[in-house]
Chain A
Amino acid sequence: MTYFLRLFCYQPAQVRKKKNNMSGKRAFLKDSNVTFEVTVNDGAYSDSTMMKDNFRPGMTLVVEDEEEDGGDPPVVFLCGSCKLPVGDSLSWAGSEDEQNQILLKRVSDNVLVGKETHFSGTCKKDLGCLVVHLTCCGCSSLLGMVYISTPRKLDYIRSLFCLDVAAIESYVLGSSSQQVAAVSTKQQPVTLEYRQHVERQLDEIKAVTLSMGKRLLVLEGDQQSKSQM
C-alpha cells in the first residue's frame, strides 16, 4: 500500500503557514470561537502532480499552482479496518503527538458518536476529562473520541474530533500513480482539473477582450465629438 502516508508527515497548509510566526515548538491558534493547540512537525511534503500537467507536450498553457497558497494537497482519512472515509484535511484542527491523535473540526457520516459518556483516565494528561467514543459505522471499530468536558488546560481540544492515528489510514489526493503503460502523453485526454484551468484562462481572455472593446468605444466616442467641434 504505497499511497498511505505516515500521518505524522502530513501537515496541512493552514497549520504549516503559521510556522514562521511561532517562537517555540507549539503555538496556540485562535479560530473563531475554538482555540486549539497545534504541534509543528518539520517533515515537509511536496506534491508533483501539477508539474506533470504543466509540462504536457504540445501545450504551453501555464497552470496556476493550486498549492501555491494552499500548501499540501487534501487528504482523506479512512478507517484502518474497513477503509470507510471518516474525515478529511479540509476540517483539520491540529494534532496531538503525545497521544498520537489528529484533531478534526468535522467528521464524515460514517463516524458514530457514542451516547455513553466515559471518564477518561488513559494517560496523565487527560485525566479528569469526560469523553464520548467515536466508532466506525462500517465495522464498529474504535476510532477516537470527543472531549465533552475538560479542565482549563485542555480547553483547546474540547468539542473537536480526536482520531487515533493508529486506528486510521490516509490517502493523499493526487497520489494515484498507476497509469496504463505504453501510452504517449499526446494521446491522453486532459483531466477535469486541467480543463478547469483552461476554462478559467478562456474566461480571463474574454474579460480582457470585452474591456478592450469598451475602451475602444469610448475612444471612438471621444474622436467623434472632437471632429464635430
Chain B
Amino acid sequence: MYDFESFQSCDTDDQKLENESVNQAIVENPVTFHCGRCNTVWADCRGICGEATSVNSLICLEVTQDVTINSEREWSLDGLFSACVSVLPMYSVYNTLQCAGCLCLMGVILYSTPQHLSALRNLFLLKKDEMYCYIFSTGQMVKASTLNFSVAPLGERVSELKQLIQETESHLSNVSAVMDDTRTNEATSSVQ
C-alpha cells in the first residue's frame, strides 16, 4: 500500500487544523464540481480523496461520464502542461482529461511518476483553476481555488489514541494489582 500522506507532509499545524474543519464541512455539506466554462458536472464530494497541492488539483476516485480520458499518453520533463497553462509534476507520463461539454483540458491521470508522487498515479487529478463548486447548504457557486480539500494525516491521531489506551491499560493493571493485594490481606486476616 502506498503512503498516501507522504506528498503532503509539509503542512503546518495551523493548516492541519484549518483543513480538518474544511473537510468536516465538505462531508456534511454536499458539494458538486463543475466545469468553469460550460458548467458540466465533473465529480461530486463522494468521489474525492483530497487535494494534491503540488499540482493544484483535486484527487478523485470517481468522475462522471462527461470526463473523457484521452487514450494517447503524453509526457513532460519541465512540469508544464502542453497547450494549457498549468503545473504538472516534473518527469511524468500521463493521459489528459477533457471535458465532454466544452472539450477543455481539465486534468490528467498520471501513469509514470518520480517516487515522491507514486501515490498520485492512476487517479483523476482535476485542475482546480477552472473548476467551480456548487455548495448545497448555501446554494452558492464558488471557485474551487477558494476551497481547501487537503487532508491531515490520520497516523498522528491513531498513535495518540494508542498511547491513551496503553496508559489506561497500565492504570487498570495497577488498580487490579492493588485490589488483589487487598483481597489477599483480607483473606489472611479472616483466617487468623
Contact = CB atoms under 8 A, between A and B. Distances in A.
Interface in A134-181: 138, 171, 173-180
Looking at chain A, what size class is its interface with the partner chain? 35 or more
Interface residues of B, number: 61
A180 B27 contact: no
A209 interface: yes
B158 A180 contact: no
B26 interface: yes
- Interface secondary structure of B, over-half rule: mixed
A194 B23 CA distance: 11
A89 to B, nearest CB: 8
Contact of A83 (B24, B39, B46, B172): B39
Interface in A172-213: 173-180, 182-183, 186-193, 195-196, 198-199, 202, 205-206, 209-210, 212-213
A220 interface: yes
Interface stretch (B10-18, B75-83, B84-92, B163-171): B163-171
Given A189-B123, A206-B161, A209-B164, A176 B136 contact: no
B140 interface: yes
Contact of A192 (B39, B50, B139): B50
A210 B171 CA distance: 12
Contacts of B48: 191-192
A30 to B, nearest CB: 24
Nearest to A106: B139
A177 B124 CA distance: 12
A223 B177 CA distance: 11
Contacts of B134: 76, 85, 88, 108
A199 B124 CA distance: 24
A106 B175 CA distance: 59
Nearest to B26: A192
12 contacts: A1-B66, A76-B30, A171-B41, A176-B43, A178-B65, A186-B1, A187-B122, A192-B23, A202-B161, A213-B168, A220-B174, A220-B178
